[in-house]
Amino acid sequence: MPADGGGPGGAAGLTGPEDAKLVTLARSTRARTRAAQGACVRDQDGRTYAAATVDLPSLRLSAVQVAVAMAVTSGARGLEAVVVLGGTDAAPDGADPVPAADLAAVRDLGGPGVPVHVTAPDGTLVASVRS
């Protein structure tokens, strides 16, 4: 998936207060759990769902997958934006910054075109793609 160079919902969209809130929630969730990743999604009603990576012997879910599942179980019918924080160093050079399974989960709930912003652990934008 190509990086999004800006425009509505692109890299420039991460500067808005609602997107900054997603970064803050993802960072605090990751820090609290000491997980590899934190993620936060915003549904079409403006509700946010923050989650961390689940890495148990019998269950492994990315932070994005957990956040999408939380939105679904709360009755969300769509997504406006996603932020995933940390864990980007696992992607080899030239690889998509967001795993296909994460994009599929976002697309399942939000449809195509939902902005997915990838940030470094300090909240600095690394890449933006669309579901």
- Let me know if residue 86 belongs to a domain: yes
- Let me know if residue 5 belongs to a domain: no
Q: Is the pLDDT of residue 75 over 60?
A: yes
User: Among 46-50, 72-76, 83-87, where is mean pLDDT lowest?
Assistant: 83-87
* Amino acid occupying residue 40: C
CA distance 8 to 65: 24
Q: Determine the average pLDDT of the residues in 1-29.
A: 68
Q: Determine the average pLDDT of the residues in 15-23.
A: 90
CATH of the domain at 112: 3.40.140.10
The 3-state secondary structure of 62-125 reads: CHHHHHHHHHHHCCCCCEEEEEEECCHHHCCCCCCCCCHHHHHHHHHHHCCCCEEEEECCCCCE
Supply the range of the domain harboring residue 21. 11-130
pLDDT confidence bin for 94, thresholds 50/70/90: low
CA distance 113 to 102: 14
- Let me know if residue 2 belongs to a domain: no
Query: What pairs with residue 40 in β-bridges?
Result: 50, 83
Q: Determine the average pLDDT of the residues in 16-21.
A: 92
- The count of structural domains within the chain is 1
- Let me know if residue 74 belongs to a domain: yes
- Let me know if residue 4 belongs to a domain: no
- Let me know if residue 119 belongs to a domain: yes
In this prediction, residue 50 carries a pLDDT of 98
In this prediction, residue 96 carries a pLDDT of 79
- Let me know if residue 32 belongs to a domain: yes
- Let me know if residue 3 belongs to a domain: no
Beta strand 54-56 pairing with 59-61: antiparallel
In this prediction, residue 93 carries a pLDDT of 59
